[in-house]
Chains A and B, each alone.
Chain A
Amino acid sequence: MSGYSIETTHLTRKFGAFTAVDGIDVKVAAGEVFGFLGANGAGKTTAIRMLCGLLVPTSGSGTVAGFDIIRESAQIRTRIGYMSQKFSLYPDLTVAQNLKLYGRLYGLGKADLKNRIQSMSDFLGLGPLLDKVTGELPWGWQQRLSLACANLHSPKILFLDEPTGSVDPVSRRNFWDLIHQLSGQGTTVFITSHYMDEVEYCHRLSIMIDGRIAAMGTPRALKTEHACASIHELFLKLMETNSLPATRSAP
């Protein structure tokens, strides 16, 4: 067993003739904030679904939290938290009801559940909102609640798929504060985003183009290596030199 939280070897997934993920090798250490970047349709979501054990790879292998993503997906699922923009909270339930529901889905006991809800709502400042109906909260708070639900069972690894879409700069800054705090407590954070300014706060990141990883490293090393002032610039540069983005489509 490797010491990595996430480790993949030539992970590949094809849909018919279309190769969505084309032999990616990724290693993410425990407690690391890893930015998983790429254009729309580059294969990020497919890769994440394989890592979460929701999709079987066509070839290659991988482990998440030390478990095999093909044979041990059940063990993986109890050790990861997943949050995406499309990840749906139940809008007609209150904040507390959503938290309780997710806690029970992950099999938390009664006392445990109470403690975790208490500490998550303290951590994320949800305390005053527990009795509010989720659907009526501003989007930024719903995102926070999603994070709380994904994190309720103290997962070792958090997969965050575009968690900050449609969120203003100040709220995003606060969201990233939380991500760094979780990382400081040892949680591995695997995050995708289209905001190139915020991914500069990742410890390491990769940029995926047409199913392959075109660049990987710390933001600083990547900028130095490609002589770019920002990740934004790097992203545009890589996209222009490496791909014909319009010919691909998301499966």
Chain B
Amino acid sequence: MVLAVDIRNLSKDHAGEKALRGLTVGVPEPCLFGIIGADGAGKSTLMTILATLWDADQGEAKVLGRDLRKDFQSLRRDIGYMPQRFSLYQDLSVMENLDFFADIFGVTGTLKAKRKKELLDFAALTPFTRRRAGQLSGGMKQKLALACTLVHEPKLLLLDEPTVGVDPVARRDFWIMLKSLRARGITLIVSTPYMDEAALCDELILLHEGSILARGKPSQLIAAYPYRLYRVDADADVPTLTYPASKAPPEGFTLIYPSSGALHAAEPKAEKRDPFNRLRASVPHSAAVTLIQPALEDCFFALLTGAGKSTQP
């Protein structure tokens, strides 16, 4: 198997904290590879290192078969990088932004015209070529930013939380674009705080305090879910059920938290007692309890809180 990214024992200190602690991971080629994790887990640090903008303190990394540290100049031709909260040049138009990125990557002549046309169609920005980037809506800005990072046809695309602040429709469109890039054989590494987006990845790592807490296909992570999961719905006369994080879970349960408009309660698979009675004892207005399949968000909760891990607020 060819690896687009091959990282061994990567460590990096940032702002006095250990941002990455001996990370080892391989990303196959091609792949839509997701990075999830709490805030401060090291996602952006890893992205910035892979983008050749920071050097790791320790460890080795090969990207597209080349040494990340030694061959960074040549790698820069083959990598596309979209930093967190990337905002382009607000005072330049859509077309001027695209032109600029084409020019600095040496895409010229008829090839440039062709790529620009393709990308504008791809990003659904063809009607807005003369509009200033600052006048675009949040979703369109992100699509333009993606188009700009694609203009030199990179083999590896690094996207750091590209859909933050983007509405659900634009977010869905954005991921359709990522999927089609993946289908063309590009490797994408995407970090995201959205678990529904993570579920669309081929493979995922969950970072926690600079180390990998879990890795696998979304289906594998879900299959490895250690609990039995119930959904608790509210009485018709109560808008939503809540359960404070500070309160201990109901007897026999390991976890309970609001999710998708209901409460999700997880108990060890060995637990034999009737869940409904135990839940009703500590959750007022609980009307219905159904056994459900966990989603990635449930895995995230299980991995980050279940194992006694602390997380950010």
- On A, residues with C-beta under 8 Å from B are 38-42, 85, 124-125, 136, 138-141, 143-144, 162, 165-171, 173-177, 180-181, 194-197, 200-204, 218-220, 223, 230-232, 235-236, 239-240, 245-246, 248-250
Contact = CB atoms under 8 A, between A and B. Distances in A.
A105 to B, nearest CB: 24
Contact of A173 (B16, B40, B245): B245
A11 to B, nearest CB: 21
A40 B167 contact: yes
Given A125-B313, A168-B311, A246-B140, A39 B170 contact: yes
A141 B313 CA distance: 7
Given A166-B193, A170-B38, A181-B244, A194 B166 contact: yes
Contacts of B59: none
B280 interface: no
B167 A173 contact: no
Contacts of A175: 313
A171 B244 contact: no
Given A176-B258, A236-B172, 7 more contacts: A40-B170, A165-B164, A165-B165, A203-B240, A220-B239, A235-B169, A246-B124
Contacts of A168: 36-39, 193, 300, 311-312
Contact of B166 (A40, A173, A219, A235): A40
Nearest to B244: A177
B161 A171 contact: no
Contacts of B138: 40-41, 250
Contacts of B128: 246
A85 B165 contact: yes
Interface stretch (B2-10, B71-79, B129-137): B129-137
B305 A170 contact: yes
12 contacts: A138-B40, A138-B312, A139-B39, A140-B39, A166-B161, A166-B165, A167-B312, A171-B312, A173-B301, A197-B260, A245-B139, A250-B138
Contacts of A202: 240
B84 to A, nearest CB: 8
Nearest to B172: A236
In the A-B complex, the 3 residue pairs with the smallest Cβ-Cβ separation, listed nearest first, are A200-B261, A138-B40, A40-B138
Given A39-B139, A248-B137, A249-B135, A194 B171 contact: yes
A240 B260 CA distance: 22
Contact of A171 (B36, B137, B167, B313): B313
B244 A246 contact: no
Contacts of A169: 193, 195, 297, 300-301
B138, B258, B297: which has the most chain A beta carbons within 10 Å?
A: B258
Please indicate which of the listed interface residues A38, A85, A139, A169 has the most CB atoms of chain B within 10 Å of its own CB.
A169
A224 B251 CA distance: 33
B194 interface: yes
B161 A231 contact: no
Contacts of A85: 165
Contact of B258 (A201, A204, A232, A246): A201
Contact of B261 (A41, A139, A201): A201
B308 interface: no
A250 B38 contact: no
A191 B139 CA distance: 20
Given A177-B245, A201-B258, A232 B39 contact: no
Nearest to B243: A177
Contacts of B260: 197, 200, 230
A42 B38 CA distance: 30
Nearest to A124: B313
